Amino acid sequence: MNRLVSIKVLRPEFTCDEDFIQRFRREAQAIASLSHPNIVSIYDVGWEDNVHYLVIEYIEGDNLKNFIRAQGTIPTERAVEIARQISDALQHAHENNIVHRDIKPQNILITREGRAKLTDFGIAKEATTATLTQTDTIVGSVHYISPEQARGETAGPRSDIYSLGIVLYEMVTGALPFQGETPIGVALKHIREAPPRPSSLNPAVSPTLEHIIARAMAKNAVERYETARQLSLDLDKVAKPVFQKAVKADTDDEFATRVLPTVTRGNLPSQPAAVPAPVQNNPGRRRTAWLWAALVALGLLAAGVAAFQFYINVPEIQMPAVEGKTQEEAKSELVAKGIKEKNIQITLRAHPTVQTDRVISQDPPAQTSIKVTRTVTLTVSQGPEQRDVPDVVGYSLSDARIKISQSELNVVEPQQEIYSDEYPQGVVADQDPEPNTKLSRGSGVTLYVSKGPQPVDVQVPDLAGKTVEQARSELDKVKLKLDDNFTKASSAAYLEGQIISQSPDKGTAVVEGSTVKVTVSNGPGPSPRTYRVEFRVKDDDKTHEVKIVVNDVRGSNTVYVNTEQPGKKVTKDIQCYGKAEVQVYIDNELFSKKTIE
């Protein structure tokens, strides 16, 4: 019929289930029966060589999601009008017992004239049924599903109203009401949490519109609008008069279709009686008429021959292969083959891998026999779609992932870790590329997550001979940790409970926060030995304080303290364990020391 259409092909994983195919055909045929200005029309449904397809109306425009991304927020008047049009579309579908089940901005197309059209009607129902049977998981656009869908229950007309409420929320605020690190997390928020008030994100949202959104998004389906028509009527109340006037003008159109009375002889206006023309018999005029008839016949014959030569007898060529060539190279080659430049149509499209100005595809395909008058369409690459890199420095890692994902970019895995004095542990301290840099859609952003301040090096203290608690206290002073999983071993040099050895060794430089492992004695330890200490006090007519200190595996112990007369000889037997050092102090000054092996 010489019109542009879109053809949607069913995914191969669904073509093996004959029961599903039958439901798919019935559903598609049912949707094809819908006729509404805000629903994309389905013209045909069929299959060939196990490929099942839909032929649908081609919409020249873009989807609502891209409009939201481009504008941030949709002006409230425009958002209300879009939501009202989709409400009318849903009402028409619901009246025909068809529930959409996948309302989202990606499924709402905006034509160049600004009309909203709902697409993918009903197909989500069948795809969800088949997938749930196989995987027992939630399928659909998790940010827009209703609480009952999130619970795995059957979706009804009020589920569509809930999803449309979220779309309206996103249009006027520029943000989704629920975000989460996982799809299940988002689904749980639909069930349990209340979204932020739209007016807190966009003060332009009136209380009336906020109430409409809240009612459409009620957790309990019974508290929502009963029908999409009720929602549409409430939206009409907040719509600007300009839209209402436009609707009224349509109804007053003098060229609109209307019921007219049947034309009968009785209601015809009076006309003057027709007077028959006089009949004249003139042979000369008859000959002139025949001459003119012959000339007209010759002219028609000539025109027919010319038309045959121009339209029918047209040269044919083999369509050359121009994919991958530049636009100018492709056009030059086609023109050289005899195709008129006016018959070469160029369609520009973003492509992730094909270079800018290179031909992505051609129609007709290469080696096809075509007439030189046929229109040839070349789809030319505009290069990858570009996205602005968001600024996520200072965000938590999970929030940074969400913001980057919203820009249709990816986080390079695994993320990098760096020390930072400015940002606490777990917060993004740097990113590559920098914010507001242009990146191809789907490209990766490297995140550098803070590990906290750079730790300093400290020396491991000597723990030999100390108890576990004494060792822990010593390590705390230098911000080190004691490994609680210490081992035990027999030792003749250290008493039970004392540390025999350590790792790292004493004096080793390690980073703050490091762990030190120790081995603890199980005994029996060294046997006590007796050692005699002998010395003479200074003879200077003064009394003196005398002190004897023993340093052995038990630690440092004062074993004798007394005031002695000048010149007196002091003899004292002491006990020590293992290797020991005996120190003698007179008036708190070291007088002598002796090592005992």
Say which range, 133-147, 311-325, 435-449, 560-574, has the weakest mean pLDDT: 133-147
- Rounded CA-CA distance 68/180 in Å is 20
Question: Per-domain residue ranges for the chain?
Answer: 5-249, 316-381, 386-450, 457-524, 528-596
Q: What single-letter amino acid sits at 205?
A: V
Residue 257: predicted pLDDT: 34
- Rounded CA-CA distance 433/577 in Å is 67
- Quick one: which of 504, 509, 541, 524 has its CA closest to 578? 524
Contacts of 459 (CB under 8 A, 6+ apart): 478, 506, 507, 508, 509, 510
Element holding 6 (H helix, E strand): strand 5-9
* Residue 99 · residue 160 · CB < 8 Å: yes
Confidence tier at 135 by pLDDT (50, 70, 90): very low
Fold of domain 316-381: Trypsin Inhibitor V; Chain A (3.30.10)
Residue 256: predicted pLDDT: 37
- Give me the architecture of the 457-524 domain, per CATH: 2-Layer Sandwich (3.30)
pLDDT digits (tens, 9 = 90+) for 41-95: 888 888 888 788 888 889 988 999 999 998 889 999 999 999 999 999 999 999 9
pLDDT digits (tens, 9 = 90+) for 362-388: 988 888 888 888 889 999 998 888 889
Residue 502: predicted pLDDT: 95
Q: How many residues does the chain have?
A: 597
DSSP helix/strand/coil, 433: coil
- Give me the architecture of the 528-596 domain, per CATH: Sandwich (2.60)
Concerning whether 102 is annotated as a catalytic residue, the answer is yes
Confidence tier at 291 by pLDDT (50, 70, 90): confident
- Rounded CA-CA distance 403/341 in Å is 46
Does position 141 have pLDDT exceeding 60, yes or no? yes
**Candidates 19, 49, 102, 505; catalytic one:** 102
Of the CATH numbers 3.40.50.2300, 3.30.70.3270, 3.30.10.20, 3.10.20.90, which one belongs to the domain with range 386-450?
3.30.10.20
Domain 5-249, CATH 2.60.120.10 — does that match? Answer: no
- Rounded CA-CA distance 199/346 in Å is 45
Residue 266: predicted pLDDT: 41
- Rounded CA-CA distance 91/99 in Å is 10
Residue 261: predicted pLDDT: 38
| Across 541-549, average pLDDT | 92
**Hey, do 316-381 and 386-450 end up sharing a CATH topology, with the first three levels equal?**
yes
Element holding 397 (H helix, E strand): helix 397-406
- Cite the DSSP H helix spans in 193-240: 198-201, 207-216, 228-238
Give percent of the chain above pLDDT 70: 86
What is the overall mean pLDDT for the chain?
83
> Per residue in 553-568, is it b (16+ CB within 10 Å) or e — as a string?
bbeeeeeeeeebeeee
Say which range, 145-154, 186-195, 276-285, 512-521, has the weakest mean pLDDT: 276-285
